[in-house]
């Protein structure tokens, strides 16, 4: 019987169990887990949101192998009032730098969120500048290159201030506060791999 955990990773937590300096790791939130349970993929230290941990190697392969191209949605707070032109560029794919080489991102779904997505304040909060507005966008990708969302929003002139992975497939972090997790059954497999 495989184990599946849906975790809402807080800001400034490493996606690993091993210690690294004085940074918080997953070991702070998970105790007594089987040694075979690992996080699926990564969320950067300065990113937040949905992280799956499991010992199901087959599911891990399907979620990480680019050929399966599953959907993941991010809520992104960007610097400035995002324009329709920027959203169109994000949707059609933009050229970013990966390992020093240009890379054209795949088509995505980029939408302006008309209100704060209701995730709650970040601790510590993002910097506040009275004269420069911020915007929230929803960005759905089918690929996961290193720091891709941040590189994409910067490429269209709206640097990322806050990045939250909201969902993978049909699994999301609704009702799970940062630092909390829920354990679920293997019915989660179909939800994670589902197309929206």
Give the active site residues.
Answer: 44
- Residue with structure tokens 């849906």? 6
Separation of alpha carbons 178 and 120, rounded Å? 9
Separation of alpha carbons 28 and 34, rounded Å? 15
Pair 63, 52: CB distance under 8 Å:
yes
Separation of alpha carbons 159 and 110, rounded Å? 15
Pair 106, 141: CB distance under 8 Å:
yes
Pair 26, 16: CB distance under 8 Å:
yes
């Amino acid at each position: 019987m495989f184990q599946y955990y849906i975790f809402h990773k807080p800001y400034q937590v490493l996606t690993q169990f091993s210690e690294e300096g004085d940074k918080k790791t997953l070991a702070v939130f998970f105790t007594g887990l089987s040694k075979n349970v690992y996080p699926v993929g990564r969320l950067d230290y300065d990113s937040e949101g949905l992280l799956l941990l499991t010992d199901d190697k087959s599911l891990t392969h399907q979620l990480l192998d680019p050929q399966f191209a599953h959907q993941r949605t991010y809520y992104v707070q960007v610097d400035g009032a995002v324009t329709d032109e920027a959203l169109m560029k994000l949707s059609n794919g933009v050229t970013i730098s990966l390992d020093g080489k240009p890379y054209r991102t795949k088509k995505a779904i980029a939408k302006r969120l008309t209100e704060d997505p209701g995730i709650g304040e970040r601790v510590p909060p993002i910097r506040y500048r009275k004269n420069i507005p911020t915007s929230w966008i929803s960005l759905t990708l089918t690929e996961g290159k290193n720091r891709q969302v941040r590189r994409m929003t910067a490429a269209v002139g709206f640097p990322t201030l806050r990045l939250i992975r909201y969902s993978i497939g049909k699994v999301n972090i609704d009702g799970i506060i940062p630092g909390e997790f829920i354990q679920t059954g293997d019915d989660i497999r179909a939800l994670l791999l589902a197309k929206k």
